[in-house]
């Protein structure tokens, strides 16, 4: 698996999430999407996308503590990894979304060094018809992105079942498809970065304490709770067990 991940920039792990959990996740995501669509400004670039999914339901929050996610992120990437972003990538019937453009999820290219890792959690089967992700195997090894024609000709599809977990190097060139079916194609996406990088949102400040308190150690690590910066000398000199920037974070 590790070799495939290194060579192709992507692996698909079967049977990670059971149907009861998928049911709950999809219900929470659809409710959050509906609420979002009624509240979002009309002209934002990623309309329909739910950001910061940990705020929108117990099951989506609990994914931050999921032992399988922790296992794959820490073994394929970094034991001190933190969450860069946690959002949705749903394709409504007969629609595409912001992810449909050909893109990479990290603008930085450092030869032979992984800065971010991406997860796609399909909450519906990914099929050719409903917009399964396109990706170009091995493209994470190049700084330059291919042109549209080359990508479209050589891209593969991440055809897989709901409950599978798609893990990819954030430099892999990919694109969501277009959903040509009559049902929505729901998915959650997470992106993890190194512990010394900045997150897309300041999660330790953004997520209310009562939600953070529901997380275990792994979820707290992902949220960035071990690498918070002191805002005063008082916070800097806190006793070891209360330190905001914990030791040994890489």
Ligand X SMILES: O=C(O)CCC(=O)C(=O)O
Catalog residues that contact ligand X under the rule CB under 6 A: 89, 99, 105, 118, 120, 133, 174, 176, 187, 189
Q: Closest CB to ligand X among 132 and 225?
A: 132
Q: Closest CB to ligand X among 98 and 150?
A: 98
- Cα separation, 18 vs 226, in Å, equals 30
Work out how close the CB of 167 gets to ligand X at its nearest, in angstroms, rounded to a whole number. Answer: 11
Q: Closest CB to ligand X among 53 and 176?
A: 176
Work out how close the CB of 180 gets to ligand X at its nearest, in angstroms, rounded to a whole number. Answer: 14
Q: Closest CB to ligand X among 101 and 214?
A: 101
Work out how close the CB of 133 gets to ligand X at its nearest, in angstroms, rounded to a whole number. Answer: 3
How far is the first Cα of the chain from the last one, in angstroms, to the nearest whole number?
24
Q: Closest CB to ligand X among 136 and 187?
A: 187
Q: Closest CB to ligand X among 64 and 225?
A: 64
- Cα separation, 42 vs 55, in Å, equals 22
Three-class secondary structure assignment of the chain: CHHHHHHHCEEEECCCCCHHHHHHHHHHHHHHHHHHHHHCCCCCCCCCCCECHHHCCHHHHHHHHCHHHHHHHHHHCCCCCEEEEEEECCECCCCCCHHHCCECCCCCCECCECCEEEEEEECCCECCCCCCCEECCCHHHCCCCCCHHHHHHHCEECCECCCCEEEEECCCCEECCCCCCCCCECEEEEEEECCCCCCCCCHHHHCCHHHHCCCCHHHHHHHCCCECCCCCHHHHCCCHHHCCECCCCC
Q: How many CA atoms lie within 13 A of 62 on its CB side?
A: 9
Q: Closest CB to ligand X among 190 and 215?
A: 190
Work out how close the CB of 229 gets to ligand X at its nearest, in angstroms, rounded to a whole number. Answer: 28
- Cα separation, 47 vs 66, in Å, equals 28
């Amino acid at each position: 698996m590790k070799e495939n991940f290194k060579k192709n920039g992507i692996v698909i792990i079967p049977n990670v999430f059971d149907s009861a959990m998928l049911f709950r996740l999809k219900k929470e995501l659809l409710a959050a999407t509906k609420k979002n669509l009624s509240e979002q400004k009309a002209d934002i670039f990623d309309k329909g996308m739910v950001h910061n999914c940990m705020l929108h339901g117990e099951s989506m929050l609990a994914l931050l503590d999921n032992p399988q996610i922790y296992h794959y992120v820490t073994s394929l990437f970094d034991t001190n990894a933190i969450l860069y972003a946690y959002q949705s990538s749903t394709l409504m019937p007969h629609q595409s979304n912001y992810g449909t453009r050909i893109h990479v999820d990290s603008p930085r290219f450092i030869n032979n060094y992984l800065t971010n890792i991406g997860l796609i959690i399909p909450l519906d089967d990914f099929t050719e018809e409903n917009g399964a992700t396109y990706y170009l195997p091995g493209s994470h090894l190049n700084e330059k992105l291919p042109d549209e024609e080359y990508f479209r000709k050589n891209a593969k599809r991440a055809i897989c079942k709901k409950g599978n977990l798609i893990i990819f190097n954030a430099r892999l060139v990919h694109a969501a498809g277009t959903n040509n079916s009559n049902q929505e194609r729901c998915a959650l996406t997470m992106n993890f970065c190194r512990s010394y990088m900045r997150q897309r949102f300041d999660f330790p400040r953004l997520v209310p304490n009562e939600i953070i308190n529901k997380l275990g150690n792994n979820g707290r690590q992902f949220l960035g709770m071990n690498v918070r910066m002191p805002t005063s000398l008082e916070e800097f000199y806190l006793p070891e067990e209360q330190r905001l920037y914990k030791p040994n974070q890489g």
